[in-house]
Amino acid sequence: MRFERYPKYKDSGIEWIGEIPEHWEIRKLGHIGIFSASGIDKKIVPSQPLVKIINFVDIVNNEKRILNSQKKYMIVSAPKDAIKKHLVIKGDLIFMPSSEVVDEIGLSALVDEDLVNTSYSYHVLRFRFTKDIYHSFRKYLTNNKFVLNQFSRRAKGTIRQTLSRNDFKSIFVIIPSQQEQIQIAKYLDKKTDSIDKAIKTKEKLIEKLKELKQSIINEAVTKGLRKDVKYKDSGIEWIGKIPEHWEVRKLKFIIKSKLKYGANESGVEYNKNLPRYIRITDFSKSGKLSEKNKLSLPWEKAKNFLLNDGDILFARSGATVGKTYQFKKSMSNEKFYAFAGYLIKVEANKEIILPDYLYIYTKSEVFQKWKELIFNRATIENIGADKYAELFVTLPPLEEQEVVLKKYNLHKMKIDKAIELQQKEIEKLKEYKASLIDSVVTGKIKVA
């Protein structure tokens, strides 16, 4: 696609911006608006009014960087004057000045209604325009590559990156004329909406593929893949009927040794001659090991917590409680691995159950139902080794487990390939969208 360029350009005076249209301005954020205090505390008390929550997850997850329109209310412990002080109004930008993920630093959302900022824990920074900037153009003013790069360069910190208010005030933005702002906003709204719809269509397809994969897992661990069998009641309500020749046993009776908690130790700087120290955060969404931020554990501390190929790790508490991961040596290049304290190791007795079969069982709906029963009975979401040991597992004969796994892996390979293809196309669409926004708001192409 060929785009028109502006008649004349000038040097912006800023190396990483380069040339901009001759009649456009370069201004600092601190010269076009005022930064205000962050959110109020969220203590719940019965006597206070309901107010809407600003949740920064809505900023990070929403490609348009606009607040989620779904209303979320809670009771806030704050006097009326404090609520008034922290009121954000339509047209304000709210920024994320602190995050563990550098790509999130400086992300902003355009407020489309009056509400109270209660996201104190996110250190929300409110920005109110004093210079007139067209409403819809505001969401593109700072959410573009050259501005976000300024944020990432200024961010300070080790584990968590942060920006001060002075950092925000010093950020450069590009401002077209008022009429051009209107035309640019309309153009980008239309184009990005079209791209977002295409992305959403592909995301829905991915969800359907994942549902298909889930249904295959559920069928495999409760019915098997043979159709010519009789069924019996498993005796477990949340499992239901199973093939007549299958068994149901508790986890503690089908493993090689007792369930084992990980090392309650701090890792040391990564050393290829020491065991790699595996934490929950080392597993990606796909279940693979990340190669970033690797740590090691000294031999004297690691020797009792080493992992074997195929071992299954159960998360026992925190945000990942109930999730499972299977360790495979093919995941990384290290020779030895130790696991951390928030994980519980299960080593399958291969004479009774195959590790891969046990792992897919933990990805089934029956396992999910069991977790929900555990959570309903407990005051906190925490599943210790004693509870995992009592987990009921469906148990086909070993030779049938092999057949189930072979057929499941064949289906899985096809589905995963289809999902990967859609994910790559989504990434291309997102890259195109970001590139289009950057080109338009910096004046590299003319749409006005």
Encode pLDDT of 427-448 as tens digits: 999 999 999 999 999 999 998 7
CATH of region 25-175? 3.90.220.20
Please give the Cα distance from 76 to 41 (Å, whole number): 7
pLDDT value at residue 120? 44
pTM for the model = 0.75
The answer to whether domain 25-175 and domain 247-395 are alike in fold is yes
Structure tokens at 100: 């563990």
Residue 296 CB neighbour total at 10 angstroms = 21
Whether domain 247-395 has CATH 3.50.50.60: no
Percent of the chain having pLDDT more than 70? 83
Closest CA to 447 of 190, 253, 199: 190
Burial tier of 87 (Cβ tally within 10 Å: 0-12, 13-18, 19+): middle
pLDDT value at residue 48? 42
Closest CA to 110 of 87, 79, 85, 140: 140
CB-based contact 54:148 (threshold 8 Å) = no
| CB proximity list for 91: less than 8 A, separation 6 or greater | 110, 111, 128, 129, 135, 138
Please give the Cα distance from 255 to 406 (Å, whole number): 22
Q: Where are the domains of the chain?
A: 25-175, 247-395
Encode pLDDT of 251-299 as tens digits: 999 999 999 999 999 899 999 999 999 988 888 777 678 888 899 999 9
pLDDT value at residue 43? 42
Handedness of CA 192, 194, 195, 200 (dihedral sign): positive
The ranges of the chain with pLDDT < 70 are: 1-2, 37-87, 113-124, 158-159, 287, 377-380
Spell out the SS3 assignment of the chain.
Answer: CCCECCCCEEECCCCCCCEEECCCEEEEHHHCEEEECCCCCCCCCCCCCEEECCCCHHHHHCCCCECCCCCCEEECCCCHHHHHHCEECCCCEEECCEECCHHHCCCEEECCCCEECCCHHHCCEEEEECCCCCHHHHHHHCCCHHHHHHHHHHCECCCCEECCHHHHHCCEEEECCHHHHHHHHHHHHHHHHHHHHHHHHHHHHHHHHHHHHHHHHHHHHHCCCCCCCCEEECCCCCCCEEECCCEEEEHHHCECCCCEECECCCCEECCCCCCEEECHHHECCCCCECCCCCEECCHHHHCCCECCCCCEEEECCCCCCCCEEECCHHHCCCCCEEEECCEEEECECCCCCCHHHHHHHCCCHHHHHHHHHHHHHCCCCCCCHHHHHCCEEEECCHHHHHHHHHHHHHHHHHHHHHHHHHHHHHHHHHHHHHHHHHHHHCCCCECC
CB-based contact 68:119 (threshold 8 Å) = no
pLDDT value at residue 83? 52
pLDDT value at residue 136? 93
